[in-house]
Amino acid sequence: MSSVADIRAAARRMEGQIVQTPLLNAPLLDRIAGRKVLVKAENLQKTGSFKLRGAWSALSVLPPGEGVLAYSSGNHAQGVAWAGAAMGRPVVVVMPADAPSVKIENTRAYGAEVVLYDREREDRAEIGAAIIAARGLHLVPPYDHPMVIAGQGTVGLEIVAQAEGIDEADVLVPCGGGGLTAGIALALEGRFRPRPVEPAGFDDTARALAAGAPQRNPRLGGSICDAILTPEPGKLTFPRLQALCGPGLVVSDEEALRAVALAFTHLRLVLEPGGAVALAAALFRQDLPETVIAVASGGNVDAAIFARALAMA
Amino acid sequence: MSSVADIRAAARRMEGQIVQTPLLNAPLLDRIAGRKVLVKAENLQKTGSFKLRGAWSALSVLPPGEGVLAYSSGNHAQGVAWAGAAMGRPVVVVMPADAPSVKIENTRAYGAEVVLYDREREDRAEIGAAIIAARGLHLVPPYDHPMVIAGQGTVGLEIVAQAEGIDEADVLVPCGGGGLTAGIALALEGRFRPRPVEPAGFDDTARALAAGAPQRNPRLGGSICDAILTPEPGKLTFPRLQALCGPGLVVSDEEALRAVALAFTHLRLVLEPGGAVALAAALFRQDLPETVIAVASGGNVDAAIFARALAMA
């Protein structure tokens, strides 16, 4: 299981390869939130999301030249494609055919071979296993993998360094399978309280934390927050969340879109809805401390969805 | 006149007060440009533009408590309002009534008193002079002022530090009155070649550099690049541009909007059209070296204009 030492080691392996993303603030946003909101702009990471960190961490410990396979609705795909290309590794990504087109196009543009499947009728694990067996690839899971969690945790190391001078804060993290949340939770070492944020209808982690045992979501699609829709918490991630996180927060799709619009106006950042759920919670939930650090986890959004958010600006 | 020493002094006065904005890159943008493009994301500066730097620099040398007045179509207004509020100074801003509403609203929200005027029929200098006389304020010009130029030059100091390892590059700078371009040109100290970029129809600086003498623009409104429409080069700025800059570049409004769209998709940045002209030149002009650093100078854009750009994405 990943430790802070693993996270520090991952940070060293990716030195000079990733963007140390800024921690931004806007007084006019603070006014709307009724509290101080610091935004960790991980949408500015190469490939447009934090996923590059976990991918880089995992790929950088594999034997040189060997190839990898990933399942992903988009951001993990781009991270693995980018890291693989940088290291000269073959990359195959199995993506749902209804993933945002910008994510599919970029994954291909970074040089990966993309295999599309029908999310409703096909089993991606089956498709992937056949390719792995035929071509001798390593599977790079999106969150349930110690090196991936260690990579995502580097976001937490940067937050601790950048939030110097802040005594107390909740760190709100968009949560799908929990890799980013678990990594950040470990990296914070009790300095701030981490809390997962999920879209309504996909709040398996919030319910699991409340119930003390993993819970499943009734359905898999249908939220605008495509980046963070997972069936249940990860096997490696959930025990970490249980040990380290405060209660989960839940926001509606409309609140996520409003957060996208407010990040446009006040932070000049492009966020995708799933990447904006932590900011949405910071803005629209009440049970929060005076200072909140919201991770903006990704910015790969189709123009049509962004235009919907703009109509709220 | 400002020197590199003045710029370094300005940088010290604003330490901890401004965002050290990141220098970003996207391989998919490089592919479109046919060259390496590094983007200095000054749209992430507090208030959404570089103008805070010049305002902070100028206001921080005035006697404590004394008030200021500025003329501005928006970004300088917000910079002066923010810096004034932070220092506890009264701020009056004289703005054209047709400035983007987001800029007028934010200037008020930062605590400044906004006086609107009709750009076609009223003389802002006359309006401002009367208020200055009545209330004993200091005028803070948007560009023709040594401390303002020194403040904008801090962008150049950061570029030099962040572009370590790059041997040769043109630094493209959105140019209105030339304060940012002159400041950066001084700060580069010959390390890279600075070049002003202007919107078509407002290319007074490009023509002046070619002619060897100041030139005027025939009209004052009518470009989407509202942030950088000025009648002629500044009296203090132009001699610096003449001494230090390569030839000016000119882009169309449509190219500026396409650059806004491409920054949305590939950099996840919100740019205003005037703030995107240097990126537009980096993407769409041919006579450029292999590596180009484009300053993205601002991101205060109304949702309706941004939606027009999105339709091109």
| pLDDT tens string B135-165 | 999 999 999 999 999 999 999 999 999 999 9
| pLDDT tens string B286-305 | 989 999 999 999 999 999 99
Band the pLDDT of A219: cuts 50, 70, 90: confident
Instruction: Check the CA dihedral A237-A239-A240-A244 and report its sign.
Output: positive
This prediction's pTM: 0.95
| pLDDT tens string A13-38 | 999 999 999 999 999 999 999 999 99
Residue A309 tokens, joined: 């958010």
Residue A181 CB neighbour total at 10 angstroms: 38
Of the candidates A253, A230, A254, which has an alpha carbon nearest to the alpha carbon of residue A181? Answer: A230
pLDDT at position B227:
82
For an interface test with A, give the residue of B31, B52, B265 to mutate (most A CBs within 10 A): B265
- In chain B, pLDDT over 70 holds for what percent of residues? 99
| pLDDT tens string B15-65 | 999 999 999 999 999 999 999 999 999 999 999 999 999 999 999 999 999
For an interface test with B, give the residue of A38, A52, A75, A268 to mutate (most B CBs within 10 A): A268
* Separation CA A239–CA B260 (nearest Å): 43
pLDDT at position B107:
93
* Separation CA A43–CA B263 (nearest Å): 13
Is A28's Cβ below 8 Å from some Cβ in B?
yes
Task: Report CB contact under 8 Å: A268, B265.
Answer: no
Task: Report CB contact under 8 Å: A300, B268.
Answer: yes
Task: Report CB contact under 8 Å: B44, A43.
Answer: no
| pLDDT tens string A167-179 | 999 999 999 999 9
CATH architecture type of domain B4-49+145-310: 3-Layer(aba) Sandwich (3.40)
Q: What residues in B contact A20, CB-CB < 8 Å? A: 22
The CA-atom distances, in angstroms, between B35 and each of A114, A157, B16, B197, B290 are 26, 34, 34, 18, 5
Measured torsion, CA atoms of residues A279, A281, A286, A291, in degrees rounded to the nearest 10: -40
Is A313's Cβ below 8 Å from some Cβ in B?
yes
The beta-carbon neighbor of B265 closest among A46, A102, A307 is: A102
Helix (H, G, I), strand (E, B) or coil at B287: coil
| pLDDT tens string A86-130 | 999 999 999 989 888 888 988 999 999 999 999 889 998 899 999
Band the pLDDT of A1: cuts 50, 70, 90: low
Asked, colleague to colleague, whether A4-49+145-310 and A51-139 share their fold, the answer is: yes
Band the pLDDT of B99: cuts 50, 70, 90: confident
Average pLDDT, chain B: 95
CB B280 within 8 A of CB B255: yes
Domain boundaries, chain B: 4-49+145-310, 51-139
Helix A75-87 × helix A51-59 angle, to 10°: 40
Matching CATH number, A51-139, of 3.30.450.20, 3.40.50.1100, 3.60.20.10, 3.30.470.30: 3.40.50.1100
| pLDDT tens string B111-143 | 999 999 998 899 988 999 999 999 999 999 999
pLDDT at B1 exceeding the cut of 70:
no
Residue A50 tokens, joined: 């934090």
pLDDT at position A175:
97
| pLDDT tens string B203-222 | 999 999 999 999 999 877 78
CB < 8 Å from A in window 75-134 of B: 102, 106, 109-110
| pLDDT tens string B230-282 | 888 899 999 999 999 999 999 999 999 999 999 999 999 999 999 999 999 99
- ipTM, interface predicted TM-score of the complex: 0.94
More confident of the two residues B312 and B185: B185
Band the pLDDT of B100: cuts 50, 70, 90: confident
More confident of the two residues A248 and A105: A248
Residue B237 CB neighbour total at 10 angstroms: 29
pLDDT at position B230:
85
**How far is CA A249 from its chain centroid?**
16
Cβ neighbourhood burial of B88 (10 Å; 0-12, 13-18, 19+):
exposed
Residue A208 C-alpha, separation from nearest chain B C-alpha, in angstroms = 33
For an interface test with B, give the residue of A43, A265, A271, A310 to mutate (most B CBs within 10 A): A265
The beta-carbon neighbor of A22 closest among B44, B109, B311 is: B44
The beta-carbon neighbor of B19 closest among A20, A22, A261 is: A22
Residue A31 tokens, joined: 């006014």
